[in-house]
Amino acid sequence: MTWAALTSGGKDSILALQKALDAGMDVSYMVTVVPENPDSYMFHSANLAAVPVIAERCGMTYVGIPTLGEKEDELLDLEQGLAALPIEGVIVGAIESEYQRSRVAALCDRLGLVMFAPLWHMDPLKLLYEVAERMDVRIVVTAADGLGENVLGKRIDADLIDLLCRIAAKRRIHIAGEGGEYESLTLDAPCFSSPIETEGWTMTFSCGRGVAAIEKFW
């Protein structure tokens, strides 16, 4: 059975991919939806240039699916892209978002594909500790009160998890970023043949949103 991993390069989608590989699943494709709209309802848009490099490190074929990033229409673009691939299943990193999970599930039903969502309803603190233990993940977007220079560009480790928990206790954010509080980028994982190297980090803050833009990946 051949699978495609739907990923933006963030912690959730890469951890889901890793769990699929741990289970012995045959994952041949790494699929990324590339939205023109940075405020896409479904898909991240920061540092997507890293994903082809991640796919190469994982020995997988990269498939980029362009979309305007408009609500619902972007799912049609994803459906058309997946329909063109010789696959039987799709791996997703959904944790708690019923909006995301239900729409991908419906898409898979229409295409006759199986959906594998190994992180669904996983305890967020347990998830973060597994990320910290197994992966090198950096926070590359912040979009919540209490998150800024204190976390932007930082690696998710035990200290950062503790900080997120303390902020969550005061600001009521989701510690795993499931409410859009932050986005992340994976630079290393067990399935990578070697870590992703980067160059040219630029941190910007505007209207409560922080972005770490990275110039080069290799």
Domain extents in the chain? 2-116, 124-217
Task: List the pLDDT tens digit at each of the 218 positions of the chain.
Answer: 999 999 999 999 999 999 999 999 999 999 999 987 666 556 666 789 999 999 999 999 999 999 886 666 788 999 999 999 999 999 999 999 898 899 999 999 999 999 999 999 999 999 999 999 999 999 999 999 999 999 999 999 999 999 999 999 999 899 999 989 999 999 999 999 999 999 999 999 998 899 999 999 99
The CATH number given to 124-217 is 3.90.1490.10
Give the predicted TM-score (pTM) of the model: 0.94
Domains 2-116 and 124-217 share a fold: no
What one-character-per-residue DSSP string does 17-78 give?
HHHHHHTT-EEEEEEEEEES-TT-SS---TTTTHHHHHHHHHT-EEEEEEE---TTHHHHHH
Task: Please give the structure tokens belonging to residue 217.
Answer: 């990946």
For residue 33, the cross-strand partners are: 65
**Which superfamily does 2-116 belong to?**
HUPs (3.40.50.620)
Identify whether the C-beta of residue 35 lies closer than 8 Å to the C-beta of residue 67.
yes
